[in-house]
């Protein structure tokens, strides 16, 4: 037996053809929708009350966050979405719905409104383009049995009309063991790919998804394998493949790019394409969105991962929770066609 790293061989035109078909796909998204608030400030003095800076508010902006950012990404790339989530009966929930109104068909969605729940809001205090503190307001009570049944019934009615599923789990109460037990077999029965952006509390409950997309921290915590070196990452990926019985695992690793593990035994290291990193907020949502759309077109997972890596390199160069357009993605593919194909695959023989 021999093991060697071999350069991934692919026609860059294949990636452009996949992205060009994004407007033909529809994705059902189940997850924790939330509101992202950005407060841009200027600091010019220290408070006389305590040794802390006084931040003068210059402007406030609001953007869809969490699973709502996945919705935002998919629609910006030309796809259609069928969203499933929950918000509170409050001003923040109303604001979030207004932000999504131009992107989501309200008649074909399942956004539950719970008067006993607060809409999840993440407030980021920014100064000179850098995040200095984040304040979270949330209630993470799991969906009730009645709410879960309503969601599963909705998904059952819509499953045949979509091309793929996303489970966007931010551990805010929407994604539960009972919900996954209802949705994952249903999607499999319809032959639709499910891409999961996981949290470690439900790690083993994702069994049966087609692709799981954890970051390195989530992969380490979910498997119990401490990161030491590249061997550690390979062990994490193989553990997840085995225990979740999925077709592929894509571990996102920040400046170290991504590691793709396929059921057939192939492991591909994909180096980052980011030239400038201003803000990583929402980059994982972009990866999840692009992978799900590419798979929904029938693309192989490696091509989906390379496209997602390219997309992530764009959004990290933007400040705040950002989405990218299909035109931006196609332009970046042309700009970085040589770098995109610098992935290397672990080949067993």
Give the pLDDT confidence of 240-250 residue by residue, as tens digits.
Answer: 999 999 999 99
Sign of the C-alpha dihedral computed for residues 196, 335, 280 and 6 taken in this order:
positive
Is 304 in contact with 25 (CB distance < 8 Å)?
no
Mean pLDDT computed over 26-54: 94
Q: What is the pLDDT of residue 337?
A: 74
11-25, 61-75, 93-107, 119-133: least confidently modelled range: 93-107
Of 138, 24, 18, nearest to 88 by C-alpha is 138
Of 188, 199, 84, 83, nearest to 143 by C-alpha is 84
| Number of neighbouring beta carbons within 10 Å of residue 146 | 8
C-alpha distance from residue 241 to each of 211, 263, 276 (Å):
9, 7, 32
Give the pLDDT confidence of 265-284 residue by residue, as tens digits.
Answer: 889 988 888 665 444 556 88
Dig out the tokens for 341 from the structure.
């194909």
Query: Is residue 138's pLDDT more than 60?
Result: yes
Domains and CATH numbers, the chain: 3-348 (3.40.1190.20)
Of 319 and 153, more confident: 153
* pTM, entire model: 0.90
Q: What is the pLDDT of residue 322?
A: 62
Give the C-alpha separation, 347 to 167, whole Å.
31
Give the pLDDT confidence of 193-226 residue by residue, as tens digits.
Answer: 999 999 988 899 999 999 999 999 999 999 999 9
Of 101 and 113, more confident: 113
Give the C-alpha separation, 116 to 252, whole Å.
35
Give the C-alpha separation, 286 to 14, whole Å.
20
Q: Which 3 state secondary structure label does DSSP give 139?
A: coil
DSSP-derived pairing of the beta strands 33-46 and 121-127: parallel
Whether 23 is catalytic is no
Looking up tokens 């929930």 gives 93
Mean pLDDT computed over 5-22: 76
Mean pLDDT computed over 29-34: 96
Q: What is the pLDDT of residue 289?
A: 96
Instruction: Say which of 32, 92, 279, 285 is annotated catalytic.
Output: 285
Q: What is the pLDDT of residue 224?
A: 96
Give the C-alpha separation, 110 to 85, whole Å.
6
């Amino acid at each position: 037996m021999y093991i060697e790293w071999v350069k991934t061989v692919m026609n860059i035109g294949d990636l452009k053809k996949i992205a060009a078909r994004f407007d033909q796909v529809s994705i059902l998204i189940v997850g924790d929708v939330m509101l992202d608030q950005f407060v841009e400030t200027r600091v010019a003095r220290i408070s006389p009350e305590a040794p802390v800076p006084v931040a003068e508010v210059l402007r406030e902006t609001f953007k869809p966050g969490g699973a709502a950012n996945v919705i935002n990404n998919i629609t910006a790339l030309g796809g259609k979405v069928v969203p499933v989530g929950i918000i509170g009966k409050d001003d923040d929930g109303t604001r979030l719905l207004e932000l999504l109104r131009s992107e989501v068909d309200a008649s074909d969605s399942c956004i539950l409104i719970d008067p006993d729940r607060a809409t999840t809001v993440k407030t980021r205090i920014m100064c000179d383009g850098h995040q200095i503190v984040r304040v979270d307001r949330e209630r993470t009570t799991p969906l009730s049995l009645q709410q879960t049944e309503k969601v599963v019934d909705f998904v059952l009615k819509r499953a045949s009309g979509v091309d793929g599923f996303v489970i966007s789990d931010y551990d805010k109460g929407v994604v539960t063991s009972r919900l996954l037990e209802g949705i994952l077999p249903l999607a499999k029965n319809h032959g639709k790919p499910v891409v999961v952006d996981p949290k470690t509390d439900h790690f083993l409950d994702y069994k049966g998804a087609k692709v799981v997309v954890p970051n390195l921290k989530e992969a380490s915590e979910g498997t119990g394998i401490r990161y030491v070196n590249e061997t550690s990452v390979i062990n994490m990926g193989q553990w997840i493949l085995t225990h979740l019985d999925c077709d592929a695992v894509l571990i996102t690793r920040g400046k170290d790019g991504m590691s793709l593990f396929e059921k057939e035994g192939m492991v591909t290291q994909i180096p980052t394409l980011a030239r400038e990193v201003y803000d990583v907020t929402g980059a994982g949502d972009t990866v999840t969105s692009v992978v799900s759309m590419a798979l929904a077109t029938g693309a192989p997972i490696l091509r989906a991962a390379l496209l997602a890596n390219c997309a992530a390199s764009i959004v990290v160069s933007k400040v705040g929770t950002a989405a990218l357009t299909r035109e931006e993605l196609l332009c970046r593919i042309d700009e970085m066609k040589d770098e995109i194909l610098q992935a290397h695959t672990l080949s067993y023989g």
